[in-house]
């Protein structure tokens, strides 16, 4: 699973290396990675997470843009929770949202559907993800809080994202 995730990240990033960013275009793609810290109910069964994200955005004005984003995240299972046989948790978020960009400072939020899968079972629900960050031009850094409401609770995590835009 680690080799597959690493291979997917390298292939995705290799496409971004050869792309050219043009700030004047209203439509952009972005790819990037994320490191996550599980919180609340997710913290009981996972230690940390890593993932890749793909985003498409459209600038409506100089300050407002809409986006759609998806990704694949893998959380390392907690051995104590799984009685010594830690299972990795797969998370697939799909969201759409809006954000503002004021002088490089970025703030926004997305909503959508998030699915978690572990050991052959899965659960999903309403996903919400506010974020703040800074836009450096072709590179963007963000801090986000992503939560998925599932029956019996919520599965949230705090993430640090880095995107390369083209």
Domains in the chain with CATH codes: 2-165 (2.40.160.20)
User: How many Cβ atoms from other residues are within 10 Å of residue 26's Cβ?
Assistant: 10
Phi and psi at 116, nearest 5°, equal -115, 140
Q: d(Cα 46, Cα 119) in Å, to the nearest integer?
A: 13
Widest distance between CA atoms in the chain: 54
The pTM (predicted TM-score) of the whole model is 0.79
Q: What is the pLDDT along the chain (166 residues), one digit of tens a residue?
A: 555 555 555 555 555 554 544 557 899 999 999 999 999 888 888 889 999 999 999 999 999 999 999 999 999 887 655 555 668 899 999 999 999 999 999 999 999 999 999 888 889 999 999 999 999 999 999 999 999 998 878 899 999 999 999 9
Q: What integer pLDDT is reported at residue 21 of this predicted model?
A: 47
State which H helix or E strand residue 147 sits in: strand 139-150
Residue 136 Cα distances to 33, 133, 140, 142, 152, angstroms: 16, 10, 6, 11, 40
Q: d(Cα 37, Cα 62) in Å, to the nearest integer?
A: 33
């Amino acid at each position: 699973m680690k080799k597959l995730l690493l291979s997917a990240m390298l292939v995705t990033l290799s496409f971004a290396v050869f792309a050219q960013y043009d700030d004047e275009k209203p439509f952009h793609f972005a790819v990037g990675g994320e490191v996550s810290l599980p919180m609340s109910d997710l913290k009981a069964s996972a230690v940390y997470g890593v993932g890749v994200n793909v985003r498409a955005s459209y600038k409506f004005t100089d300050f407002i843009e809409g986006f759609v984003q998806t990704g694949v995240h893998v959380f390392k299972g907690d051995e104590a929770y799984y009685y010594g046989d830690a299972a990795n948790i797969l998370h697939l978020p799909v969201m759409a949202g809006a954000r503002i960009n004021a002088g490089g400072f970025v703030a926004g939020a997305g909503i959508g559907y998030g699915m978690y899968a572990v050991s052959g079972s899965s659960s999903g629900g309403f996903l919400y993800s506010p974020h703040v960050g800074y836009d450096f031009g072709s590179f963007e850094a963000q801090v986000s809080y992503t939560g998925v409401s599932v029956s019996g609770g919520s599965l949230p995590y705090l993430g640090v994202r880095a995107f390369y835009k083209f």
